[in-house]
């Protein structure tokens, strides 16, 4: 396969699908491409290198990848000097099969190889068609990420996942758990503080598992990094109820920089469905975690993930999930209809539900989610909230947008040039389900 041998002055476009982990990986790959001499652009149809960072959690995301990739393959047929890269979970899942499906690809690379992008592109430049999906030890990356924001940043602290959830393909595409050292994590965060970043979100597929392979844990890490100069706020995601400890709850309550927001997926409110999902907890244990958080930090916001229509899920079992949503009153909830993923146990099980049933349940739970989120938002009315300003309100250029410590989006009048990165006290005057409006004090 032909490829550009001298990237100086060339352009690159990264198209990212999926979760925050993928977005963080794309920032690192953009940093590597910038270091090589590429200029990052938004439009893929005119870029010299196009990289798709893919997600395979749900089928519709995977099909969208193939649609985009097909368009670029036709473009490469007209201009063989274009470099096409497929990274992420679809790349890891399909491997060499992708080259038979899309022979125009130059590089197929799994998530564990993100830090090796420069070396892999060098092999491509030498005329090799490269597939990099073998399990490796993830090394520290000396290339600085190209951050999409100048205010908030993601920092990976653990790669991979050791869980065996029967619906999830993540362990097979992202590999086994590998924790970064506390020293490397703190060094990256301190550098972010020096560069003017105000907020850091620690990332991991199962972040509560951090450190069990190196003899520490997330609570200890939070205490270790808490004094990083310049950083005003710390967040972390995504948590697993099996490992969310009392020590972590107490630590978050005690550390001023740790925001009062917890994202803890429950996936189902029915114990039999949870057992078949191999989640390792009951809905009673999940409820106890939320009760402890709210007892320790009364104003904490809690968000979660829920899957409806899991194979064999009865109407009664679905209603148990509805009951949990109604009683725990989440501030936000990511919902999805079950989507069979290749290679997962649940994809082969009998009892697959019709799409009509899954969509009906999804609509019903989403109505309840919006109602509960609206009710939770009302507590902000008349209050003064500290908002970290990040960007302009895309629907009203006279307003800026930022988030409270509890992760509620807030709009208020102001100039971004003066307020970006500032912590502003805002009196809340309007409350919607998932956003607020206020006036700067």
Binding-site residue positions for [4Fe-4S] cluster: 19, 55, 89, 161, 165, 168
* Residue with tokens 């209603």, as numbered in its chain: 319
Let me know: does 401 contact 391? Beta carbons within 8 Å. Answer: yes
Dist CA 101 CA 85 (whole Å): 14
Tell how far CA 120 is from the center of its chain: 25
Phi, then psi, of 50 in degrees rounded to 5: -120, 125
**Burial degree of 149 (CB within 10 A; 0-12, 13-18, 19+):** middle
Q: Is 370 exposed, middle or buried (0-12, 13-18, 19+ CB in 10 A)?
A: middle
**300 alpha-carbon distance from chain centroid:** 20
Task: Calculate ∠ Cα 128-56-40, nearest 5°.
Answer: 55
Sheet holding 49-54, edge to edge: 39-40, 11-16, 49-54, 83-88, 107-109, 130-132
Whole-angstrom distance, CA of residue 322 vs CA of residue 368: 8
Q: What contacts 430, CB < 8 A, 6 or more positions away?
A: 381, 436, 437, 438
Beta strands in 104-169 (DSSP E): 107-109, 130-132, 152-159
Residues that constitute the known binding site: 19, 55, 89, 161, 165, 168
Taking the CB of residue 284, how many other CB atoms lie within 10 A of it? 8
Rounded distance between C-alpha atoms, residue 22 and residue 29, angstroms: 10
Distance CA 138, CA 28 (A): 13
Tell me whether strands 178-179 and 409-413 are parallel, antiparallel or unpaired.
Answer: unpaired
- Quote the tokens at residue 435: 């956003």
Q: Which two tokens stand for residue 270?
A: 């029915």
For 11, the enclosing helix (H) or strand (E) is strand 11-16
Bridge partner list, 267? 306
């Amino acid at each position: 396969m032909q490829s550009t041998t001298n990237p100086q002055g060339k352009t690159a476009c990264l198209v990212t699908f999926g979760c925050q982990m993928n977005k963080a990986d794309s920032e690192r790959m953009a940093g590597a491409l910038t270091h090589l001499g590429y200029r990052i652009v938004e439009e893929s149809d005119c870029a010299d290198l196009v990289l798709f960072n893919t997600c395979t959690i749900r089928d519709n995301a995977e099909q969208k990848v193939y649609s985009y990739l097909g368009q670029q393959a036709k473009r490469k047929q007209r201009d063989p000097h274009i470099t096409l890269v497929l990274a992420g979970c679809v790349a890891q899942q399909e491997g060499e099969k992708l080259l038979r499906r899309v022979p125009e690809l130059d590089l197929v690379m799994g998530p564990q190889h993100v830090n090796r992008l420069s070396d892999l592109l060098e092999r491509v430049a030498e005329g090799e068609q490269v597939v990099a999906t073998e399990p490796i030890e993830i090394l520290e990356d000396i290339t600085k990420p190209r951050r999409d924001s100048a205010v908030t940043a993601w920092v990976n602290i653990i790669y991979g996942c050791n869980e065996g959830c029967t619906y999830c393909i993540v362990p097979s595409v992202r590999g086994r758990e590998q924790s970064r050292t506390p020293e490397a994590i703190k060094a990256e965060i301190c550098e972010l503080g020096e560069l003017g970043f105000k907020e850091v979100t620690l990332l991991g597929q199962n972040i509560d598992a951090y450190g069990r392979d190196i003899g520490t844990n997330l609570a200890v890490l939070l205490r270790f990094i808490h004094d990083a100069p310049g950083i005003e706020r710390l967040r972390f995601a995504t948590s697993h109820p099996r490992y969310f400890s009392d020590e972590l709850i107490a630590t978050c309550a005690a550390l001023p920089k740790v925001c009062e927001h917890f994202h803890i997926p429950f996936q189902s409110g029915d114990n039999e469905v949870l057992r078949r999902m191999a989640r390792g907890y009951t809905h009673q244990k999940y409820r106890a975690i939320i009760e402890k958080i709210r007892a320790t930090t009364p104003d904490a916001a809690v968000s979660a993930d829920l899957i409806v229509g899991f194979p064999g899920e009865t109407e009664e079992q679905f209603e148990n999930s509805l009951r949990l949503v109604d009683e725990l009153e989440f501030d936000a909830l990511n919902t999805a209809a079950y989507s069979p993923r290749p290679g997962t146990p649940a994809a082969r099980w009998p009892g697959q539900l019709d799409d009509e049933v899954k969509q009906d349940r999804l609509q019903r739970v989403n109505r309840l989610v919006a109602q509960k989120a609206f009710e939770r938002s009302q507590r902000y009315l008349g209050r003064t909230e500290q908002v970290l300003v990040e960007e302009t309100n895309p629907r009203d250029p006279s307003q800026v947008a930022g988030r409270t410590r509890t992760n509620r989006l807030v709009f208020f009048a102001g100039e971004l040039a003066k307020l970006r990165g500032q912590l502003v006290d805002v009196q809340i005057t309007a409350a919607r389900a998932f956003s607020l409006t206020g006036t700067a004090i």
